[in-house]
A and B are shown apart, each in its own frame.
Chain A
Amino acid sequence: MSDKVAVLGAGVTLFERRATRRLDEMASEAVSLALRDAGLSYGDIEVAFVANAYRSGSAPIVFYKLSRTGIPITHIDIACASGTRSIQLAGHLIASGAYQTCLVVGVEIMPGGMVPWPIDPETVSLYHEMMFDTVTGLLTMPGAYAYKAVRYMHDFGATPEQFAQVAVKNHRNSCLNPNAMYRKEFSIEDVLGSRMICYPLTLFQCCANSNGAAAVVLSSETRARRHTSRPVLLSGWGETSMRFDPVDPVESHLSEGDTVAAAAGAYEMSGTGPGDADLAQVHDAFSAAEVLQIEALGLCGKGEGAAFTAAGETEIGGSVPVNTDGGLMGCGHPVGASGCRMVAEVFRQLKGQAGARQVEGARLGLVQNSGLGASNVLVLER
């Protein structure tokens, strides 16, 4: 048998710069919030995933105190995309009829400072290639998007000011989200005047590490209809990982082709298109990333994303609001939790429960979440 997949509840903790609670405590809080939101108890959950990048053994750690009901628990890690990958896997399990209810909790306590590479020379041969790129100054996280931004400015005449507008918007949106880490407004002068990290990206155009958890409860549509007459459906999703294009090196290094492919899958599965989207949550690890991702999703034409953003089209109240909860830029980025936080925000918007940041009449929302060459795209509808 097969069934449609519903999102039944979601919960997000405060994202904080310094963790005041421990991994299992934050996960428990997010799970409790999500279960209460769904109207379920832990005993109703048939299968569960933990999305987390920095703590091996997360599944037993997170669930030991929560409950030991004997259900299959699994740790999923594809870096920053772990949360949405877990939700997609839950979707496959429910759509197949194998399970009726699934819990996904993303949680992270980030290591301090710059994100370390989780590899060492004794066990990983790739270490030597990565260390060469690292010590010769080639490998930086902001640099990866700075390259795309520079080429984009060259090809389409975009300006650093247009990219900076993403940071202004997302920080402003975070002021409307009590769970966001920053909740502080920055002017375009503040953003452009902050320290240059990798040209053209300044400090305030780079997301910061944070600590927190977010949980999502999924179920079959049949099961969801026992709780609500108008469930939020996870109607489509697409998933990719790093791809080497033998014909086009540009595609391999410098494009958002992974998102284009994931979006095509999500739109086909849901029978929708970019024109149906009322809002989107995208992976704004760096300001330029948001511009490129909204184009890859088809929310505007290629080369138009920077001007589209600068014109206010992605503001709350614009034609397609993007990162209404502040995104990675405003919320901070607890790697394993971010994908679940994105899905939780779209769920909240479609339920009409987003408070001061509510997008009026939102019926269809997109999520795009990147992680080490992977891109996941999800369509939620109500």
Chain B
Amino acid sequence: MTGVDTGRETSHLGGRLITGPDGDPRLIGIRCLDCGTGAFPATDYCPGCGSGSLEDLPLPRAGTVWTYTVVYMGGYGSIVADPPYATAFIELDDGTFVHAPITGCDPESVRVGMEVALTTVEAKENDLGITLTYAFEPAVGRERGVGS
């Protein structure tokens, strides 16, 4: 789960997340070469048709909150934030759905339709060896458009 530095970019979370030399994050999903299905996170076989012919699919960084919740209890503890924390399904600008924490705002201020962009989060200590993970934070206008 630790980062792999290729000089140009660093791979985290088994390739789920890459960061560029300037730290810019990007999520990597898959696209099925047989049926065109896109999905995140990446899978070994297409979840739509079962094909093993897949290519990596770098995802847009920006999207909107499709739905969310604020977790007060009932979680197993999070390496991203202490409860209460917000988590959401985000519809990225290309239509891909991503399930991720929301950071950088009061969790109770999150709303359906809120514009958000990808960010990275230093993980709290954990048994899985994760040091850096990702979340989405409120972003509007030019800030939101970067890299999308």
- Please give the residue numbers on chain A whose beta carbons come within 8 Å of chain B beta carbons, in ascending order: 114, 128-129, 131-143, 146-148, 150-151, 154, 195-199, 203, 206, 244-246, 249-250, 252-254
Contact = CB atoms under 8 A, between A and B. Distances in A.
Contacts of B112: 150-151, 154
A254 B79 CA distance: 25
B81 interface: yes
A147 B72 contact: no
Contacts of A133: 99
A197 B74 contact: yes
17 contacts: A135-B76, A138-B99, A139-B75, A139-B76, A140-B74, A143-B71, A143-B74, A147-B67, A151-B67, A151-B112, A154-B67, A199-B70, A244-B37, A244-B39, A244-B48, A249-B91, A253-B89
Contacts of A198: 69-74
Interface string B122-139: 000010101001000000
A196 B97 contact: no
Contact of A140 (B41, B47, B75): B75
Interface in B56-100: 66-81, 84-85, 87, 89, 91, 95-97, 99-100
Nearest to B112: A154
A137 B102 CA distance: 11
Contacts of B105: none
A151 B91 CA distance: 13
A252 B46 CA distance: 14
Contacts of B36: 246
Interface string B107-129: 01000110000000000001010
Given A129-B41, A147-B67, A246-B48, A137 B85 contact: yes
Smallest CB-CB A-B distances: 3 pairs: A137-B78, A246-B48, A146-B69
Contacts of A195: 72-73
Nearest to A125: B44
A136 B72 contact: no
A147 B89 CA distance: 8
A135 B47 contact: no
Sorting the interface of chain B by its residue count into under 10, 10 to 19, 20 to 34 or 35 or more gives 35 or more
Contacts of B77: 135, 137
B104 to A, nearest CB: 15
B47 to A, nearest CB: 4
A154 B69 CA distance: 13
Nearest to A246: B48
A151 B66 contact: yes
B101 interface: yes
A340 B13 CA distance: 42
Contacts of B13: 132
A256 B14 CA distance: 32
Given A135-B78, A137-B76, A137-B85, 5 more contacts: A137-B87, A195-B72, A196-B72, A198-B69, A249-B96
Nearest to B113: A154
B35 interface: yes
A148 B67 CA distance: 7
A197 B80 contact: no
A140 to B, nearest CB: 5
A206 B72 CA distance: 14
B99 to A, nearest CB: 5
Contacts of A141: 74
A141 B41 CA distance: 20
